[in-house]
């Protein structure tokens, strides 16, 4: 499904070069649950952004379902991003004065779906993550765990094959963390491919595969069981 060959990403800040990814080779199969660990600045988010077509490689190849991503133009990248990926971030990225229902319905504005149906789908997604009693709460009126559940529901509305999560439990307490990780586990059991970045060793245990990053390189890549 996902193949990176000799993938590098260099950032330029003035005269300074920062190699965020250094000659990465990586394959991820459909249905995997991959956890990524590594110290701050080791290139984890850069990798996730590249996978999700939010960023592009400066060298090497990215093949996604037989599509050579390097060859896509801006519009094609956006189309691929919207159709294939759902994103979940540490800081939730919700509109704060907007209800859970509207936050989840929002990404469907660009799909050709009637308003009424958008809200139907959003409602179903929120019920699926256990928030049927919080549909009309604004983000500011929700707990961290609830906000992350809204964000997950939003990531799912376009029925993506792959979910990319960048430290999704980074701001959560132990109880909410367990709840959110159960949702990811269930989604994976239903066939979603998941790539999840975490700082916490015990979260790293959830996946079927653990990858460790150091200084832009993969230093560990093991399938468990
Ligand atoms: N947009 C950017 N411009 C310049 N440097 C960046 C940018 N994004 C990331 N970097 C640098 O690339 C390296 C990897 O960053 P990142 O992928 O965010 O690491 P991680 O997610 O593992 O903490 C860091 O040294 C960071 O400072
Ligand atoms: Mg990061």
Q: Which domains does the chain have, with CATH numbers?
A: 30-55+83-223 (3.40.50.300)
Q: What is the pLDDT of residue 110?
A: 75
Predicted local confidence at residue 224, as pLDDT: 86
166 CA distance to ligand 2 middle (Å):
7
C-alpha 44 to ligand 2 mean position (Å): 6
Instruction: Determine contact, residues 86/184, Cβ cutoff 8 Å.
Output: no
**37, 149, 190 from 181: Cα distances, Å:** 16, 10, 14
Q: Whose CA is nearest to atom 6 of ligand 1?
A: 11
Per DSSP bridges, beta strands 193-197 and 162-166 are parallel
DSSP code of 30?
A: T
Ligand 1 — pocket residues by CB below 6 A? 11, 13, 18, 20, 38, 40-46
Closest-CA residue, ligand 1 atom 26, reads 41
- How far away, in angstroms, is 56 Cα from ligand 1 center? 13
Angstrom CA distances, 23 to 61, 65, 75, 220, stand at 10, 21, 27, 14
Q: What is the pLDDT of residue 225?
A: 67
Residue 90: per-residue pLDDT = 95
Report whether 199 contacts 170 (CB < 8 A).
Answer: yes
DSSP 99: B
Find the helix packing angle between 144-156 and 115-128, rounded to 10°. 130
Q: What CA–CA distance (Å, rounded) separates 74 from 79?
A: 9
Rounded to two decimals, what is the model's pTM? 0.96
The residue to which tokens 């949702």 are assigned: 183
- In the predicted model, residues of the chain with pLDDT beneath 70 are 225
* Three-point CA angle 161, 154, 149, nearest 5°: 105
How far is ligand 2, taken at its centre, from the CA of residue 45, in Å?
Answer: 4
């Amino acid at each position: 499904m996902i193949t990176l060959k000799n993938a590098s990403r260099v950032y330029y800040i003035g005269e300074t070069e920062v190699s965020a990814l250094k000659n990465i080779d990586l394959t991820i199969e459909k249905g995997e649950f991959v956890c990524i660990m590594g110290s701050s600045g080791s290139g984890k988010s850069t990798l996730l952004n590249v996978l999700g077509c939010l960023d592009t490689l400066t060298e090497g190849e990215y093949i996604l379902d037989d599509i050579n991503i390097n060859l896509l133009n801006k519009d094609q990248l956006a189309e691929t991003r919207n159709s294939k990926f759902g994103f979940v971030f540490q800081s939730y990225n919700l509109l704060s004065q907007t209800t859970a229902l509207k936050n989840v319905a929002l990404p469907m504005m660009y799909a050709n779906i009637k308003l009424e149906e958008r809200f139907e789908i959003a409602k179903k997604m929120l019920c699926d993550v256990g928030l049927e009693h919080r549909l009309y709460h604004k983000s500011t009126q929700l707990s961290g765990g609830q906000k992350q559940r809204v964000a997950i529901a939003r990531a799912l509305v376009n029925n993506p094959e792959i979910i990319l999560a960048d430290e999704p439990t980074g701001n959560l307490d132990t109880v909410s963390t367990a709840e959110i990780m159960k949702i990811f586990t269930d989604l994976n059991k239903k066939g979603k491919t998941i790539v999840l970045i975490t700082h916490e060793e015990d979260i790293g245990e959830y996946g079927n595969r653990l990858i460790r990053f150091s200084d832009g390189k993969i230093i560990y890549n093991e399938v468990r069981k």
